[in-house]
Chains A and B, each alone.
Chain A
Amino acid sequence: AQSVSQHNHHVILSEAASLELGCNYSYGGTVNLFWYVQYPGQHLQLLLKYFSGDPLVKGIKGFEAEFIKSKFSFNLRKPSVQWSDTAEYFCAVNAGVDSNYQLIWGAGTKLIIKP
């Protein structure tokens, strides 16, 4: 079955460390890619998205993600994390007709930043 994979379910980092969260998908055609974040006690919200153009996308709070088509990947990065980045991060893919124009979600990565 076609899917979205987030390989790290839990990540623990110290403040100022660099972050990279992996996201891979298995759809072969055109894809639109999203990262959503859920901070403790808050609604799930969009962090960034890619649908065309520059494969390096910048989002809120210093996050960025790079679309590498040949690797079917859309990894999320941040050069220096802060305690306030503690949250759960979800990758999602809309593969157009291949996903019935709906979002297919990864299982999420829980990120804990130690102060």
Chain B
Amino acid sequence: DGGITQSPKYLFRKEGQNVTLSCEQNLNHDAMYWYRQDPGQGLRLIYYSQIVNDFQKGDIAEGYSVSREKKESFPLTVTSAQKNPTAFYLCASSPVGGGSTDTQYFGPGTRLTVL
């Protein structure tokens, strides 16, 4: 089955802790993305990567970090510097980075709650 997997589905974190969200794709896509979704708001881009070993900040990168060491993996770390981390996090991929007509394919999401 081709697709994008995200784990865990639900994640609870204490204030002051860093936490890493996993995203894996087996679609052989070059580009991968992390979005944050809050109630009543659209998806907001946190980070994106158009190619292995390269990534760029999106609109709300503060308090987050990523790595792209392998084509199929794009983990997101939510650091203690993120002021309001409780949200639903979506990972996506697309065939080509920088393609303005590309369809993005999404994972099931991770719901992070900070206690």
Which residues of A (34-54) have their CB < 8 Å from a CB of B? 34, 43-46, 49, 51
CA gap between A44 and B4 in the complex, in Å: 11
Q: A96-B100, A102-B48, A103-B104 are in contact. Are A44 and B90 (CB under 8 A)?
A: yes
A105 at the interface (CB under 8 A from B): yes
Q: Name the interface size band of chain A.
A: 20 to 34
B101 at the interface (CB under 8 A from A): yes
Which residues of B (58-114) have their CB < 8 Å from a CB of A? 58, 90, 92, 98-101, 103-109
Residues of chain B with a CB closer than 8 A to A44's CB: 90, 92, 106
A9 and B103 within 8 A (CB) = no
Which residues of A (98-112) have their CB < 8 Å from a CB of B? 101-108
Nearest CB of chain B from residue A85's CB, rounded to whole Å:
19
CA gap between A98 and B11 in the complex, in Å: 35
B101 and A45 within 8 A (CB) = no
Cβ contacts B45-67/A at 8 Å (1 or 0 each): 10010000000001000000000
Nearest CB of chain A from residue B59's CB, rounded to whole Å:
8
CA gap between A21 and B45 in the complex, in Å: 24
B100 and A32 within 8 A (CB) = yes
Residues of chain B with a CB closer than 8 A to A4's CB: 42
Q: Name the interface size band of chain B.
A: 20 to 34
CA gap between A104 and B42 in the complex, in Å: 8
CA gap between A40 and B38 in the complex, in Å: 16
CA gap between A108 and B90 in the complex, in Å: 15
B17 at the interface (CB under 8 A from A): no
CA gap between A113 and B58 in the complex, in Å: 35
Nearest CB of chain A from residue B75's CB, rounded to whole Å:
19
Residues of chain A with a CB closer than 8 A to B109's CB: 43
Q: A102-B48, A105-B43 are in contact. Are A43 and B103 (CB under 8 A)?
A: no
B101 and A49 within 8 A (CB) = yes
Interface residues in chain A, defined as those with a beta carbon under 8 Å from any beta carbon in chain B: 4, 9, 32, 34, 43-46, 49, 51, 90, 92, 94-96, 101-108
